[in-house]
Structure 1
Amino acid sequence: MEEISKHTIHEQDIVEMILSIGKKFERIVLRGAYEDILALFKKLKKKEQSPQHYYQEQYDQYQPSAPPIPPDSAELFDYYCSFEVHDCYEQVDFEGKGLVDNVYVPLLEKVCNIHPSLLECQRKRTYKYSGWAFNALGRVSHFLETTKLEEMNVDACECLQMLWDEVQVFGFELSWLAPQVEFALNMEKFMREVEKLEEEKKTIFMRIQELRMKFKEELYFLYI
């Protein structure tokens, strides 16, 4: 008893100590509860890793870049989506394909150098149509470039889904961009799971405090 009191008893050590000396604790009716707590410790140990850290590595190879929405469509988008995407509508010619917001030109140049098919697929389209296409692509890419993971709430997810649905209409080959979009759309779910785990963690620590008291009582009765 004196040896035990000399050391700090950590939560998981408490549970494992009880389970390892089961015969001495035949009178303890909380054995099932101890086993449940130990299982929850193992579960939290596996799930506590940040979703941003876990999922970001596999998508680091995808580097988004592209343009926005034409001025005549901006008001319509703002009506349906309260999440701000961009407020600059000054447009310039891009590669002779169409008018795009100048803020996205560097992004478009980068992504089209990596994926030449983006320009090729618009070769037989009209100037205005191609402008719409690259604007739609730019809005998705700019959204992914500038939106932080923690900002992916319900409104942000709805806006991204709307932008993604829009850009797919124009016939781009977007397999390179799809994983990033899918990851971003799932962020709200990931964050909810993290919050749920935090609540479970608080519940477990409260339960641990109760078990500590009961454990000390059982040790007392065991050695008297």
Structure 2
Amino acid sequence: MANSVDVFWSFRSPYSYLVTPDLLKLREDYAVSVVLRPVLPIALRAKSTIFDAADKKRPRYIVMDSRRRAAFLGLPFVWPRPDPVVQNLETYEVPEEQPYIWRLSTLGVEAERRGKGIDFAHHVAALIWGGTEAWDEGDHLAVAARKAGFDLAEMENAFAHYDARAEIEKNHQLLEQSGHWGVPTMVFKGEPFFGQDRIDTLRWRLDEAGLRRNPSG
């Protein structure tokens, strides 16, 4: 497919979770491929926290707003347990060891290599943000992967044949080149659309490009 929308997306971002059903609808409504490009949260990409431990307005607002936005969209929303990023919530410092987010992000890379990245992100994000405690234990992830059409163990075995972390680093660079830094950022023909609430603007741009599958819809 000649036309594509690159989606820079994080498993720790509530807004990435909230935009994913709209991305599935975008793929259904328009003659475009939707390419999942997993990235790490900005605190890990920048090697520093974007939050000030002395001023907690920003994180409080994000939690409040994402919960409100989920209610508006009719989606379940519970802050993940465990959090995909290991972080001190008093100082906002993040250690180097990050087992959850690296595992999720590399699985996202593998899912996209198999052509169903957005499907995988949809089911795993619903697991993580939808209220399942201890989502990392038992067969929770395996079930979510199976819903997307994958065998989890087979996906993880594939990492022996290539460097998935290098793919994530490439996505970081592509996000920077797009002119933005946050997630979710959707990029169509070099133009970035940042934020879950910009999906309608992206649809408008795709309409301008004449890509709607059913013009009368």
Range class of TM-score, shorter chain: under 0.3
Instruction: Name the structure with the higher strand share.
Output: 2
Normalised by the length of structure 1, the TM-score is: 0.24
Determine which structure has greater relative contact order: mean sequence separation of CA pairs < 8 Å that are 6+ residues apart, divided by chain length.
2
Higher share of residues assigned helix: 1
TM-score, normalised relative to structure 2: 0.24
